[in-house]
Amino acid sequence: MALSVCRRAPDEAIFGRLASELVAELPERLSTRVLENAERLAAEPALVDGEIRWSYAELGREIRAAAAWLDSLDVRPGDRIMTVSENGRALVTLLLAASERDVWVAIVNSRLSAQEVDAIRDHCQPRRVFYTSAASPDAEAHGERHGAAVHAHSTLGRLRISPLVEVEPEPVEASGAEQVAAMIYTSGTTGTPKGVMLTHRGILYIASLSGGMRHLREGERVYGVLPMSHVFGLSSVCMGSLYNGACLYTIPRFDAAAMLAALEQERITVLQGVPAMFARTLEFLRREGRALVAPALRYISAGGSPLDADLKRRVQALFGLTLHNGYGLTEASPTISQTRIEDRFDSNTVGRVLPLLEYRLEPLGEGGEDEPEHAGAGELWVRGPNVMKGYFRQPSATRACLSEDGWLNTGDIARFDEDDQLYIVGRSKELIIRSGFNIYPPDVEAVINEHPDVTLSAVVGRQVEGNEEVVAFVQCEPGAMLSEEALREFLAARLAPYKRPARLILMESLPATASGKILKGRLRNMADREGAT
């Protein structure tokens, strides 16, 4: 693909329907199709939360009851509510009840620190805050810290609810393309958190097309361990399941043993995760000397962070299934591309761009030489219904990445092959330029991860006088006696000299979010501190 040439991903058949047909029938609100399913699929299983199992009819009743409850709590159309929560029936119900009342939901992971939660609350200015105590001890702790009142809800479980706050409601838009459904705050250890405003149409575009590409329908059982406070868990897993009539298992936290038990006993059919989740599952089975038992599993996929070829091979060998891959970001609700269900790639492609989206590559600035395999790489821009409305009350930050005519700068360096398969080379902000050469961290991480004693790795750059150097953080297999010297010898045979880490830091575990995504910002801070000592 030539740089700066705009293209539009073609229409295509998705599980027997054209993508354009699916988009044309998208409702204006998240809750509409789920409530239709409550009538159409009344007796079919909709949601499993621990011992609680709801049919679609029961879920529909709970959504309507919760919408009336929001009215009684003086939550108005255009208001924002905030949930401090982990996955569970309370969060799903509140999201869809808010949709019925044109209320925005700022979904915040309760595992964030007090400082992070408070910064989001202060910026979001919610009418009320709901803490899902039954699903999360951390939510209970935040609610207690904030002095929120305990509410023993008869069906949603124990909650805490903040007092009413006088705030200015936002205008209500009839169009789902304009009305905000949810706000996801971008993670970051410094600066003001940014609230990504996601529209009903943007989320539903992903739920319909991405769900259709996974062949979701009634009878499917989806393991919902990715946090709904992360847009992958919200749009693709939660809404993808409920929009298409599948049964969603709401799982507050990843635990390898619990997941493996569900694969066997609940006959889970669809499993989506991040690469680190799959790496830790492999590690658990190896440590326990156990075999995988997943009699009904038919689809697995990884997203949220780069998937290296070695992990892909090992996961596929274990599961006997293709490990599908995709790419996106919070600001795109999140999916921009994914591999199709019939695809069988050995490469690390993240698939073709979703149907009907526009995309282009912008040339990179001055930055040294590229590897031949990254020829034609540029900064990826996209436009389509899934692109965010902007950052809440931060117009300058919005203008920095979103043009007036709707083009989103992803900040990622990408390339396309002759078959329009997309490859993510790296983050433009994470690109390391060493002695005039471009170094893409995923390239180095993939080589480090090939070592049999390595579970995960994360590569960052560190500024030194007149240059930049590579720092690698490495998580080893439990009980492994890998030395820094042995790992250096391994890498010397596989990496060009300019790509080799100047510093290798072996760790028991890499810092990660609740979904398993590595916190590279924290690692960069560690690398900078170490360089200063």
**Matching CATH topology for 1-28+200-363+376-428 and 49-173?**
yes
Instruction: Write out the two tokens for 274.
Output: 């991040």
Phi, psi of 476 (to 5 degrees): -90, 160
What is the pLDDT at residue 485? 95
What is the pLDDT at residue 3? 75
Greater confidence (375 vs 518) lies with 518
Q: Is the pLDDT of residue 39 over 80?
A: yes
What is the pLDDT at residue 191? 53
Q: Average pLDDT for residues 415-421, to the nearest whole number?
A: 95
pLDDT band at 371 (very low <50, low <70, confident <90, very high): low
Q: Average pLDDT for residues 256-267, to the nearest whole number?
A: 98
Instruction: Write out the two tokens for 215.
Output: 């062949």
Which of these ranges, 97-101, 235-239, 410-414, has the smallest mean pLDDT?
A: 410-414
pLDDT tens-digit series, residues 476-486: 988 899 999 99
pLDDT tens-digit series, residues 155-182: 999 999 999 999 999 999 999 999 999 9
Write the DSSP string, 446-460.
HHHTTSTTEEEEEEE
d(CA 48, CA 53): 5
Count the neighbouring beta carbons within 10 Å of the beta carbon of residue 20.
Answer: 11
d(CA 501, CA 459): 8
d(CA 178, CA 28): 10
Phi, psi of 307 (to 5 degrees): -105, 115
User: Of the CATH numbers 3.40.50.300, 3.40.50.2300, 3.40.50.12780, 3.40.50.12160, which one belongs to the domain with range 1-28+200-363+376-428?
Assistant: 3.40.50.12780
pTM given for the model: 0.85
Average pLDDT, the chain: 92
pLDDT tens-digit series, residues 479-512: 899 999 999 999 998 988 888 999 999 999 999 8
Q: Of all residues in the chain, what percent carry a pLDDT higher than 70?
A: 95
Q: Is the pLDDT of residue 515 over 70?
A: no
pLDDT band at 365 (very low <50, low <70, confident <90, very high): low
Greater confidence (463 vs 489) lies with 489
Assigned fold of 49-173? Rossmann fold (3.40.50)
d(CA 329, CA 375): 23
What is the pLDDT at residue 189? 37
Instruction: Looking at mean pLDDT, say which of 19-33, 102-116, 272-286, 299-313 comes out highest.
Output: 19-33
Q: Of all residues in the chain, what percent carry a pLDDT higher than 90?
A: 77
**What does the angle CA 178 – CA 182 – CA 186 come to, to the nearest 5 degrees?**
110
> Which DSSP letter does residue 232 get?
I
Q: For the packed helices 484-492 and 441-448, what is the interaxial angle rounded to 10 degrees?
A: 110
pLDDT tens-digit series, residues 192-235: 689 999 999 999 999 999 999 999 999 999 999 999 999 999 99
Q: Is the pLDDT of residue 438 over 80?
A: no
Greater confidence (28 vs 513) lies with 28
Name the residue ranges covered by the structural domains of the chain. 1-28+200-363+376-428, 49-173, 430-532
What is the pLDDT at residue 436? 65
What is the pLDDT at residue 369? 47
- CB-based contacts of 363: which residues, under 8 Å, 6+ apart? 3, 4, 378, 379
Assigned fold of 430-532? GMP Synthetase; Chain A, domain 3 (3.30.300)
Count the neighbouring beta carbons within 10 Å of the beta carbon of residue 124.
Answer: 22
Q: Average pLDDT for residues 27-55, to the nearest whole number?
A: 98
Question: How is the chain split among helix, strand and coil, in percent rounded to 5?
Answer: 35, 25, 40
Which of these ranges, 58-62, 143-147, 423-427, 491-495, has the smallest mean pLDDT?
A: 423-427
Count the neighbouring beta carbons within 10 Å of the beta carbon of residue 478.
Answer: 11
Spatial contact of 468 and 461, defined as CB atoms under 8 Å apart: yes
Which of these ranges, 223-227, 388-392, 528-532, has the smallest mean pLDDT?
A: 528-532
What is the pLDDT at residue 422? 96
Q: Is the pLDDT of residue 86 over 60?
A: yes
